[in-house]
Amino acid sequence: MILDIAARIFSRYGYTKTSLDEIAAEARIAKGTIYYYFPSKEELFITVVSEQAQSFMEEMIRRLSEIKGFENRLRFFMQEPVKYACNEMPIWLDGLKSIPFNYDEHFTRYRQMNKERMLQVLTGIIREGIDEGMVSDNILAERLCEVLNDWFLLGNQSIMVVDFEGLLRRIERDHETIMQLILNGILKRG
């Protein structure tokens, strides 16, 4: 219950303008009850973001299982996470920038865990493409996945996105061209 209410209030007011008092009042519980489960506002926020990221991953994997063919699966995977982050999580991403420095290590672990989960799924898709003869076996699958993740899925920790709408427009505009480059390269084939 605390997580659901916190998610609603954080998404309504953002991280910096939300207080544990507001969450406790909405939940009709004492503020101390929140502290019993979450030692700080930052811990509660990171837990909410982690839960939503987990739900998204589960939904994305479910939807991927319904998509047939390497190209279609790769197209979906390359576009869906960034669209989701821009459309559904801008407040969460903004809040993660506001968390005090003493939570940097916790945040870094959270990002690394999500990056590893995304890389696992992407590696599976690329390996399917190799098995189907769609991707050159000369390409190192793990390295390709790291590059795709860092550049196109915003997996690089040093990239901070501020203009979510602009990023989403750019991705929608460039997605097909990027996919054609990834799938076909730039050399004309005979």
Q: Which residue has the higher pLDDT, 75 or 5?
A: 5
71-83 core/surface letters (b: 16 or more CB in 10 A; e: else): bebbbbbbbbbbe
Tens of pLDDT, residue by residue over 41-67, are 988 988 888 888 888 889 999 999 999
Q: What is the pLDDT of residue 163?
A: 65
Tens of pLDDT, residue by residue over 86-130, are 777 666 666 766 776 666 677 677 777 887 888 889 889 988 888
- For 168, other C-beta atoms within 10 Å of its C-beta total 17
| Domains in the chain: ranges and CATH | 1-38 (1.10.10.60), 42-184 (1.10.357)
Tens of pLDDT, residue by residue over 147-178, are 777 666 655 544 445 566 776 777 677 777 77
Q: What is the pLDDT of residue 155?
A: 54
Tens of pLDDT, residue by residue over 2-35, are 999 999 998 888 888 999 999 999 999 999 999 9
Q: What is the pLDDT of residue 68?
A: 93
Burial class (CB within 10 angstroms; exposed 0-12, middle 13-18, buried 19+) of 175: middle
Token match 């709408």: residue? Answer: 165
